[in-house]
Structure 1
Amino acid sequence: MGVNDGRLRRSDLRRPFRGVRSLKASESFDEAPANETVEETWTRARSRNRVRAHEYATRMPDGQFFSHITAAFLHGLPLPSRFRDIEWLDVSTMSRSLRRTGSGVRGHFASTVTRVVYLETLPVASAVDVWCQLSTTLTLDELVIMGDALVRRKSPPATMQILATAVARCSGRPGAKLLREALALVRPRTDSPRETMLRLIIVRANLPEPEVNLELRNRYGAFMAWGDLVYREHKILLEYDGEVHRVDEKQFQRDVDRLDEIMEEDWRVIRYNKSHLGTRRNEVEGKVRRALLAKGWNP
């Protein structure tokens, strides 16, 4: 391409993969800014993986595509924090002769039924196929969280039927049993991984399963809010307060007004935060149980 050896050795170039040169970014994806939020950390991780995928794509032969963890990043699917700082790209092929391994790349041989889509010109395994691929990597709860994200309330990339068809297609393959268990726990209309975690704690405490993201209306039929987890019969609302509820002043004010209106309609509102999903899990079960009993639930 007319670039001489001296230019290729210049210090303003990175060497991410053999035979690839890339201009160094003005900001390093590896350096976290001060006071970075969790969401900002994940945004930086997704950007880093997207840039590295584009770099590798310059030498990617036909027949290869991104899969597994790399594809999950490219699709924006929720991943556990242990994968946030991975140093490799997952690359799959349906032809054994094209399987690629080496520095910075994990090669995989994919099933011929894997559907490949294009994201920003990058060949990537479809979001549902990525979920199936990761059944040998993620835990049950992590698979449920990702499954919920696939059938989420806003712009879901899949339906429950599509997930069920994909799971049936994986029968007999490694991870198939765990995938079936996860499918049984996936619920559509979820908005966040924390909502999924809260729901799983409640279900495993042998309490009634709440409805997910139900539309709440007042006595006159006017819309009040979307409820995270709802016991409609008992008028109990479980709300998860994420980081944005703490750092965004406008969001905090909206929450105050919204929850006040809901309580005026005789709803019992129980609010949770990330501490309840960690060291305070027992409190989740206790609060829900007491609220249900007070509202007439008969175990």
Structure 2
Amino acid sequence: MQLPEELSSAAFSVRRGRKAGLSTGRLRGPDLVRPFHGVRVIATVDLDLIAVCRAYAERMRPCEVFTHRTAAALHGLPVRGMRPDGEIDVAAIAPKGLPRAHGVRGHRVKADLVSIEEVDGLRVISAIDAWCQLAAELTERTLVVLGDALVRRQGPIATIEALRRAVEGMAGRRGARRLARAFARVRANTDSPQETWLRLDLVDAGLPEPAVNVTIHDATGKQIAIGDLVYLEWRVLVEYDGEQHREDRAQYARDVERLDDLARAGWRVIRFNATHTGPRRILAIARVREALLAAGWAGH
């Protein structure tokens, strides 16, 4: 029996399948997979995070909500939404019992400690609440990356002040001190996780902290660039080149003109990309140090 159209492109509960006229045998058909007990989905559907969450939503209790990594990823933060074992994070609002299902990491949360929102039709805690929850398990630097993403330049989800209030509200909870340390390093207006990692690497290597996405002008006052990581005092610019710089020919042409303008204005530009890992990254950071020293930085 062919599946009804409304069941052929997304997950559905066994109960909904029976109402649509599917027999027990059809629900056990080889073209259907079982992401969770009581849920079926056509085998050709790509079970990415959204699809898996939609599948679980077919059996989700009214008291349950997506949390932790899963909520953060659903909000678009740069973190894997599924744990290494493939589990998603689901919490029950206390005092309800923990969610229990294969493929689910169950949690319990207090209603007064989280805000519940809807993302793509799914019940999730707020992005800030997810950031706070993850303080108990992620590193300080990773929390900085997520914090930067919350207050990013394009499409920010939160404000620095909102993060500050959340950190203050975490007092006494697991990960509170780590989150406070991370918050002190969060900067608004970043463009990418790679940019944040690079800024942290520069500072952790003992270099001064660069300003983020600052407008650069020439001697006449004309804007010539918006720099990723900018040392205005020493006219040193550190850039992270993503894939679009290599694949977009128009972007590449603009970059060439921009670099010429910066050179004429007396700026030293040092560029990083995805190949700058390990020893190559260390050498590139050393070049930043040399450029700063040559421009008059005292080295401390």
TM range (shorter): 0.7 to 0.9
User: What is the alpha-carbon distance in structure 1 between the residues aligned to residue 86 and residue 120 of structure 2?
Assistant: 21
Partner of 1:10: 29
Pair 153,181 (structure 1): closer, same or farther in 2 beyond 3 Å: same
CA contact (8 A) 2:75 2:127 kept: yes
RMSD: 1.9
Partner of 1:138: 138
Q: What are the Cα deviations for residues 47-72 of structure 1, in whole angstroms up to 9, with x where unaligned?
A: x0100101111111111110111112
Unaligned runs of at least 5 residues, structure 2: 1-18
Aligned to 1:76, what secondary structure does the other structure show? coil
Larger radius of gyration: 2
Pair 271,156 (structure 1): closer, same or farther in 2 beyond 3 Å: same
Partner of 1:161: 161
User: What is the alpha-carbon distance in structure 2 between the residues aligned to residue 79 and residue 120 of structure 1?
Assistant: 18
User: What is the alpha-carbon distance in structure 2 between the residues aligned to residue 218 and residue 117 of structure 1?
Assistant: 46
Q: How does 1:61-210 map onto structure 2 within 5 Å?
A: 61-79=61-79, 86-112=85-111, 113-210=113-210
CA contact (8 A) 2:70 2:82 kept: no
Partner of 2:264: 264
| Offset, 1:158 | 0.8
**Equivalent pairs, count:** 279
2:255 maps to a residue whose letter is D
| Offset, 1:86 | 4.8
Aligned to 1:250, what secondary structure does the other structure show? helix
| Offset, 1:284 | 3.6
CA contact (8 A) 1:72 1:127 kept: yes
Q: What are the Cα deviations for residues 223-267 of structure 1, in whole angstroms up to 9, with x where unaligned?
A: 322200001122111111123323333332222222222212111
Aligned to 2:296, what secondary structure does the other structure show? coil
User: What is the alpha-carbon distance in structure 1 between the residues aligned to residue 269 and residue 171 of structure 2?
Assistant: 42
CA contact (8 A) 1:64 1:98 kept: no
2:55 maps to a residue whose letter is E
Partner of 1:283: 283
Pair 160,281 (structure 1): closer, same or farther in 2 beyond 3 Å: same
Q: What are the Cα deviations for residues 168-203 of structure 1, in whole angstroms up to 9, with x where unaligned?
A: 111111111111110111111111111111111221
Partner of 1:36: none
Unaligned runs of at least 5 residues, structure 1: 30-47
CA contact (8 A) 2:238 2:270 kept: yes
Q: TM-score, normalised by structure 1?
A: 0.87
Pair 250,278 (structure 1): closer, same or farther in 2 beyond 3 Å: farther
CA contact (8 A) 1:201 1:284 kept: no
User: What is the alpha-carbon distance in structure 2 between the residues aligned to residue 93 and residue 257 of structure 1?
Assistant: 55
User: What is the alpha-carbon distance in structure 1 between the residues aligned to residue 158 and residue 68 of structure 2?
Assistant: 17
Aligned to 1:96, what secondary structure does the other structure show? coil
Q: TM-score, normalised by structure 2?
A: 0.87
| Offset, 1:222 | 3.0
Partner of 2:235: 235
Aligned to 2:145, what secondary structure does the other structure show? helix
| Offset, 1:282 | 2.6
Identical positions, percent = 46
Aligned to 2:29, what secondary structure does the other structure show? coil
